[in-house]
Amino acid sequence: MNRLKYYLSIITIAAGLGSCALESEVYDAINPTIFPQTEADAEALVTANAYGVFRNDGYSGMFNIANGVLLVSDLVSDYGECSWRQWEPVLYNRWQVGNGHIDNQYQYPNYLGKMTMTIDRIEKMDLKEDVKKRFIAELRCARGWLAFCMYDLYGPIPIADLETLQDPLAEKILPRLSEEEMKTYIETEIKAALNDLPANFKKGDPEFGRFTKGLCHMILLKYYMLTKQWTKAETEGRELMKPEYGYSLVPEYKDIFTLENEKNAETIWAVNCLPGYQQHKWHPHVLPNDYPTEPEGVVKWNGFKLTWAFMKTFEKGDKRLETIITEYTGTGGEEHSEALDHANGGLLYYGAIPFKYEIDKATTGEDNQIDWIIYRYADALTLLSEAIVRGGNVVTQEAVDLLNMVRTRAGLNAYNIGDFKDSRDFLDKLLMERAHELYYEGCRRQDLIRDGSYIEAIKQKCKDAGQTTLVSENYLRFPLPQWVINEGQGQIEQNPGF
């Protein structure tokens, strides 16, 4: 078990609670004359508070499968579907203030205060200067990344400074940051973390899973694409291609998501999973109840799907289809497919199965120990390709070559520059390539919003499903939970349209 796993486990056990204990740590209960004192203490404190939110442990953590940030982001995209009909308001963009799945994402900003308080504690400790810088860099990376994720979903949020956090009894109501203040916060925090973090970790390194310079550049790439700063995004994409980071594509797409190949060179950052530490519940959430598995004891609830309309956008021979189940024979001998299940209301009625991760042989019940990938190199390469074309409004050979790196890995013919009528045609094809490549990795909503095609895509999705929708320009961001507005006492305004 590497040190990241060790310290997160120790902090959780010490709290006498499950992984949610990391969210409810009471800082005033820490006696600074006892803890933290040593470098090991500092590392444990940093690990709990910098990494605790970025987990996928059952139903805990921002990246959990049941209702985490990336999962919900894909369900509100054009390909997200689910057999559980309580998800309909989310799937078809009929969100209103008070929707639990939307409100749930707003629990995570609380970690920003914990990170800020931990930076203050670390700064006051007697540690080697390089060690102190590294710990503070991890915490600042965490603050910037979490702020970016919340900005993407909700827009600017209130962020407490150290002085406010140190006086919790004062009834001080913080307004949301302005757009520019929020953007400055994200960019400042990530850039501040860069210089004091290692470029990358490789498989076998006991530090694998801790934050790196490569992760910081990936977050900046995502942020600059979100804010349409194409030149800066291009710079970040090119940075990630430098040899010092060691990123490369795994030769076979399906091998990315296996136990044998976890921590591969394509992974920029993943949630470290391991029995007894944290495990995710992907297969229970996607597999139909009668789907045959090896081992047999895998729990299956028949939940999340890929729309049949989306499945028709794949080209014949696309190797990524090897990770998607479009038909199967059930354990009771019943045949399942789009046509059959549409006719009889069967288990594939709402869409295909996004199998993606292998079922490792040690799987029992609900849990899977394969690292859960958050960012990978294929994402960076295609974003760089997009930034080049958007920045210059012209299709370049370099942009085509970058797209082809991902496309040919999927077993498809490479594009020639003459295959594109114009930059718009290129972007349409690139965004579809990203959807096929990165399905259920939390990218599609951002892609469509950035492209300006989100509303149209959701309206088409709802039309295909015979569903009504409330989607409009206001639905580019989630509404704030009502309790946030109430506690704001007039100083926190709701997002427009809600």
Would you say residue 347 lies in a domain? no
Residue 284 within a domain = no
DSSP string, 433-463: HHHHHSTTTT-HHHHHHHHT-HHHHHHHHHH
Residue 368, strand partner residues: 280
| Coil vs helix vs strand at 128 | coil
Residue 168: the pLDDT is 81
Asked whether the whole model's pTM tops 0.85, one would answer yes
Ranges of the chain whose pLDDT falls below 70: 1-34
Residue type, 138: E
Phi first, then psi, for residue 395 (nearest 5°) are -85, 120
- The reply to whether 119 falls in a domain is yes
Domain assignment present for residue 165? The answer is yes
Q: How far is CA 458 from CA 91, 185, 267, 472, in A?
A: 9, 31, 30, 10
Q: What is the chain's alpha carbon radius of gyration, rounded to the nearest angstrom?
A: 22
Residue 44 domain flag = yes
pLDDT at 403: 98
Q: Classify residue 361: in a domain, yes or no.
A: no
The two most distant CA atoms of the chain are separated, in Å, by 69
Residue at 137 is within a domain: yes
| CATH code for the domain in which residue 167 is found | 1.25.40.890
The total of structural domains in the chain comes to 1
Question: What domain range includes position 170?
Answer: 24-53+109-197
Give a yes or no: residue 480 inside a domain. no
